[in-house]
Structure 1
Amino acid sequence: MNRLHPLSAVTYAIQYGFLWLWIPVFLVVVLAGVFDPVSGAWVPVAAPFGFLFGIGYGVAYYYRFGYEVTTDTVDVSSGVVARRSREIPYRRIQNVDIRQSVFQRLFGLATVSVETAGGGDTEASLYFVSEGEANRLQSEIRRRTAEAKGQQRDRKRARRDEAKREGESEDEPASRDLIGPEPPEEFDRPAGPTDGEVPPRNAADDTTRVRDATGDVGADARTDRVGPEPADRTEGFGPVTDRDRREDPTAHPQKERLFDLEAKELLLYSFTSFRPAAVAAVLFIFFFATEAVVDLFVTIAQPFGGPTDLETGDTASYGILTIISGVISILVTYALSVAYTFATYYDFQLGRVGDDFVYERGLLQRYSGSIPSEKVQAVTVTDNPLQRLIEYGGLWVETAGYGPESNGGSQSAVPLAQHPRVYRFTENLTGVETPKFEGPPPIARRRYLVRYSLLAAVFVAIAFGVSTVTAFENWYVAAAAFLAVPPAAHLRYVHIGYYVGDDHIVIRGGFWRRRTTVVPYYRLQTVSVRRSIFQRRLGIASLVVDTASSRSFFWSSTTVYDIDLEDAREARDTSRDRLQTALRERAADDDLGLEVDFT
């Protein structure tokens, strides 16, 4: 068993030291309130004992933690009192992530996380290993995982071929009766050495393993190659061959670069996207520094007619203070969002290793992970009004079981690029034909007019209610919200569309964040038609498309809203029929379904 980096012992010692520090403190405080002999003055004496015990426990945890990469599994053992041993088979491993914080990058450390299929939690984490060891583990586990999955596909293919041969053997006697007697044995035997003879070995007949059309390694292929492997061997061709490993035991699959986020695209992406985490950061700052933040708002608002302080202001000055505070809050939130996006996607690189997409990104915290192509459920092109204005968009893939960023299994493949390039990537990746979208009937737009009018009426009612309890009198100004109803209804209506293709169903929707999702039929789980009370009165329905994507557990499923009922039922039936056809074709071709080299 291998041990973690020695600095892990220091980290565990400090972590458990401060954790156990509070246990004796808590016990002394509780017992002092129950038993008179126990005094609160014992806290300074009890706390160091807890801290020292925690240090000892952390060091013991370090020495009791071990990991090993074996032939068939990744083994991890941990625990001081209660021991836990895990053997993770390679065929279940979905991803091996490397994460480096600022502290870890300064000391050349990294955290390695092993994720398995079918779960969103980390199966095993190594805190910490050296950066070189992290890269070695990631590469080694990826290689062995690719081999295990390749062997699994080989076994499936062998079983299918054997079943096919058994079916042919049952029909063989009848066919021979029709075409005459069996030909002489010498016509069946190919020219070559007789039984028991060993053909002479030719130096130019070195046996090597080459990939077939599915990306698997075949054992019987030969190549007329003399001498060592050329120095310019093509990168990104899946598992390294047996010959390569004999020549270089440390050989690993090579990474082929697919996409780099350029500086211009990074800046555009940072300034044209918004991160909800920025709102949480602003609220956190305001919660812990409320008085200082309010004083800052008052100071900034004074030159514009704001109050001198919160006690001596009038209605007008308070209104100015409210506007200034709101503007400052929005600007600070936007600035934090820009900084967060820039730091997260700095130096974004997307590549491929075998049949997996691999990515690296991050300025302060560096991330390195992979997206297994066999787990991709859908591909989505996203953009917002600002990005559509400059004709840019992003490409995301939705995976099953694992979400690298706690975002429901959705991972960016191309954060931002020009629309023609993103559409070309999508077509190359999925093989989808250019969609011809169909939209909802005009009655859906009337429905949106009514819905948004009701929202505007609620807004006016809230403004009127505020005016009755405050000095605000011009509540009727809120009626301007009705001016936004027609354009809002129209924009929602025109951005809804769907396309039922030969191999994919494509669904588009949303205005503030428009999503165009391409779902291969073989990835469908359910296709259903749903109708609310209001939809039934209007003769319309929603078409809901579910896949095995983890995103469906966190957000709503991919849905086409408010289309004609008959169109929804026809799309549902067509999708179900083509699902069965796609599954049969996929089983026969043993196809991954995606073009990994999509650029």
Structure 2
Amino acid sequence: MNPATDTPAAPAERRLHPWSWLFVLLQQLRQFVVPLVALVVFGRRGPSDMADWAPLMGVAALVGISVLQYFTYRYRIGSSGITIRNGLLQRTWREIPFARIHNVALHQTLLHRIFGVAEVRLEAAGGRRPEAQMRVLGLADALALEQLVRHRGGGTAGTPAPAAAQAQDEVLLALPPAEGVRLGLVSNRGMIVVAAGLGAVAQMLPDQMAAGWVTYLLEEVLDELLGQARRMRLGWAGTAAAALVLFSLAVAALRLLSVALALAQYFGFRLTGDRRRLTVERGLFARLRSSVAPRRIQAWYLQETLLHRLLGRRSLRIDTAVGGREDDPRKLRDLAPIATPATCDALVGRLLPGGAWPPPRWQGLPPGTAWRLFAGDLPWTLLVAAVLAWQFGAWGLLALLWLPWAAYAAWRQAGYMGYAVDARLVAVRGGWWSRWWRFAEIDKLQGLRLTRSPVDRWLGTASLWLDTAGASGMSPPLRIRFLPEAQARALYRQLGRTLAARRLRW
């Protein structure tokens, strides 16, 4: 036996795609576009021509850095992980075990799709930045790397990944374009984009100029509308009707913008996979492909607004233990952006190990819950009414008409609120106008908190907070409110014993 021939050769190092330097350059240009524009606009201060060449010199430097990064970046795929080496004068080596990689995200802009490449991000749990970011790989190499991480990350290192693994993935949910239209109708993406645009304009202008610009625009619009109404002799009723029509047109335009944004973001949405790995692919112009292991799902969130109910739909989101920014669009959060209630329930029941969904029985909250909810609105309503009355006299007291509606809404909300706890799952539901369900496996709870406010101590109640990893600030918290103190403490001890027993078995 010859050891020299029997020892397996080390995997060869690989380069990024030959066009990777171009995408690195474009990324750097986006970061330095403001200084470059400043050089062009303000750089010339005298007869010298050096300022004319400064922007070209800056771009040439960025091109050199991008090309140098391509030639110095190497990666090697081993049996247990990925090794990345980069740098020229200061070299760095990084070992990333497959078991540490919890998510592989593939991102393609329109330019990526033209060149047949993709940006790859390898993400780990709890990290604020990805473990590795490869700009860029060929699409075939990126998909092969995703399948390799998916296979070996499950604890089967050393065995070859199946070539047809991707083709065998089961399609759990596919959204046609009609569902994208419904998603746009129930969302407020158009309003968010318009508000963000106005905020960006306000940030670029000085405070006084921004306030003056907004005031001038509103005054011009109002003067034009009122002047047109006087010329047409519409009267107060006609003016109010015209204002209502214009408001309706503005709402319709925002909804159309929301539909266009939803179609661009979720066109071709496909959720595939099994209990080992879930993969989502979506996007019209920019394609995004992200995956996560179901065991990394920490909590679930079902949402049903009034528009959802009118269309017979719900939305299903998840919290995962994968790191990254909360607002990162490449982070996998939407398992079902919009789907029928039966589809959402079936999807949860399939992916939730050992947990029956929906729960067979919900526990209601005490009868005094409606008064507690109404008491939260009462001080603010009285304060607003007092301020308006001070400014406008008796007409400001019309704000008190909100109180009957607030009392009715609190009564309806208290009747719907509830919780359910079994051996594996804890769930909370709430809302009325917009309903929601928040639930998690008991194994995924990171902590239990029993809190009592001064009002709770006065009324003998308590609230139980259930903390999970990766909780989103856009979702309601997982908590059970306004329980009698004895019942809250008993539930706290029950969940604590269950959680401790399961962790001891680990």
TM-score (norm. length: structure 1): 0.69
- The amino acid that maps onto 1:488 is A
Match in the other structure for 1:449: 374
Q: 1:571 aligns with which of 484, 491, 499?
A: 491
How many angstroms apart in 1 are the aligned matches of 2:51 and 2:281? Answer: 48
Q: 1:352 aligns with which of 273, 276, 280?
A: 273
Q: 1:72 aligns with which of 48, 70, 80?
A: 80
Match in the other structure for 2:24: 12
Match status 1:53 vs 2:27: no
- The residue correspondences of 1:37-436 to structure 2 (distance < 5 A) are 42-146=50-154, 149-150=155-156, 250=163, 252=165, 254-275=168-189, 277-284=192-199, 287=202, 297=221, 301=225, 305=229, 330-352=251-273, 355-402=276-323, 406=327, 411-430=333-352, 431-433=354-356, 434-436=359-361
- The amino acid that maps onto 1:305 is A
How many angstroms apart in 2 are the aligned matches of 1:102 and 1:293? Answer: 36
8 Å CA contact 1:383, 1:515 repeated in 2 = yes
C-alpha displacement of 1:545: 0.6
Match in the other structure for 1:488: 409
C-alpha displacement of 1:516: 1.5
Q: Secondary structure at the match of 2:284?
A: coil
Q: Secondary structure at the match of 2:364?
A: coil
8 Å CA contact 1:277, 1:337 repeated in 2 = no
Match status 1:2 vs 2:14: yes
- The amino acid that maps onto 1:397 is I
How many angstroms apart in 2 are the aligned matches of 1:507 and 1:306? Answer: 55
Q: Quick one: structure 1 residues 550 and 535, their matched pair in 2 at CA, closer, same or farther if it must change by over 3 Å?
A: same
C-alpha displacement of 1:421: 3.3
- The amino acid that maps onto 1:420 is A
C-alpha displacement of 1:457: 2.1
Match status 1:439 vs 2:353: no
Match in the other structure for 2:418: 497
How many angstroms apart in 1 are the aligned matches of 2:47 and 2:391? Answer: 54
Q: Which whole-Å deviations, capped at 9, do the CAs of 1:422-456 have from their partners, x for residues lacking one?
A: 22332333233434112221222112222222222
Q: 1:526 aligns with which of 435, 440, 447?
A: 447
C-alpha displacement of 1:307: 9.8
- The amino acid that maps onto 1:66 is R
Q: Secondary structure at the match of 2:368?
A: helix
Q: Secondary structure at the match of 2:333?
A: strand
8 Å CA contact 1:439, 1:563 repeated in 2 = no
C-alpha displacement of 1:150: 4.3
Structure 1 gaps of 5+ residues are 33-37, 152-238, 309-314, 588-599
- The amino acid that maps onto 2:22 is V
Q: Quick one: structure 1 residues 90 and 456, their matched pair in 2 at CA, closer, same or farther if it must change by over 3 Å?
A: same
C-alpha displacement of 1:111: 1.0
Decide which moves more: 85-94 or 42-51: 42-51
Q: Secondary structure at the match of 2:267?
A: coil
Match in the other structure for 2:8: none
C-alpha displacement of 1:356: 0.8
Q: Which whole-Å deviations, capped at 9, do the CAs of 1:266-295 have from their partners, x for residues lacking one?
A: 332321233474354452586589689759
C-alpha displacement of 1:88: 0.8
How many angstroms apart in 1 are the aligned matches of 2:110 and 2:143? Answer: 18
8 Å CA contact 1:380, 1:395 repeated in 2 = yes
8 Å CA contact 1:508, 1:560 repeated in 2 = no
C-alpha displacement of 1:141: 2.4
**Bigger Rg over Cα:** 1
8 Å CA contact 1:140, 1:252 repeated in 2 = no
C-alpha displacement of 1:497: 0.7
C-alpha displacement of 1:251: 5.4
How many angstroms apart in 1 are the aligned matches of 2:106 and 2:299? Answer: 25
Q: Quick one: structure 1 residues 40 and 362, their matched pair in 2 at CA, closer, same or farther if it must change by over 3 Å?
A: same
Q: Quick one: structure 1 residues 514 and 410, their matched pair in 2 at CA, closer, same or farther if it must change by over 3 Å?
A: farther
Q: Which whole-Å deviations, capped at 9, do the CAs of 1:356-408 have from their partners, x for residues lacking one?
A: 11111111221111121221222332211222344422332321133687379
Q: Quick one: structure 1 residues 278 and 53, their matched pair in 2 at CA, closer, same or farther if it must change by over 3 Å?
A: closer
8 Å CA contact 1:272, 1:386 repeated in 2 = yes
8 Å CA contact 2:381, 2:402 repeated in 1 = yes
TM-score (norm. length: structure 2): 0.80
Counting matched residue pairs gives 476
Q: Quick one: structure 1 residues 565 and 362, their matched pair in 2 at CA, closer, same or farther if it must change by over 3 Å?
A: same
Q: Secondary structure at the match of 1:305?
A: helix
8 Å CA contact 1:503, 1:582 repeated in 2 = no
Q: Secondary structure at the match of 1:117?
A: coil
8 Å CA contact 2:302, 2:438 repeated in 1 = yes
8 Å CA contact 2:319, 2:472 repeated in 1 = no
How many angstroms apart in 1 are the aligned matches of 2:37 and 2:308? Answer: 56
How many angstroms apart in 2 are the aligned matches of 1:488 and 1:459? Answer: 19
How many angstroms apart in 1 are the aligned matches of 2:110 and 2:227? Answer: 41
C-alpha displacement of 1:23: 7.9
8 Å CA contact 2:44, 2:52 repeated in 1 = no
C-alpha displacement of 1:75: 2.2
8 Å CA contact 1:376, 1:398 repeated in 2 = yes
- Output the aligned Cα RMSD: 4.0
How many angstroms apart in 1 are the aligned matches of 2:343 and 2:310? Answer: 16
How many angstroms apart in 1 are the aligned matches of 2:472 and 2:386? Answer: 36
8 Å CA contact 1:17, 1:58 repeated in 2 = no
Match in the other structure for 2:9: none
Q: Secondary structure at the match of 1:442?
A: coil
Q: Which whole-Å deviations, capped at 9, do the CAs of 1:277-320 have from their partners, x for residues lacking one?
A: 43544525865896897599459835862899xxxxxx999999
How many angstroms apart in 2 are the aligned matches of 1:465 and 1:121? Answer: 52
Q: Which whole-Å deviations, capped at 9, do the CAs of 1:5-55 have from their partners, x for residues lacking one?
A: 2332233345556839948977x98998xxxxx988742243333332232
Decide which moves more: 43-52 or 516-525: 43-52
How many angstroms apart in 2 are the aligned matches of 1:569 and 1:272? Answer: 40
Q: Quick one: structure 1 residues 429 and 58, their matched pair in 2 at CA, closer, same or farther if it must change by over 3 Å?
A: closer
Q: Quick one: structure 1 residues 103 and 89, their matched pair in 2 at CA, closer, same or farther if it must change by over 3 Å?
A: same
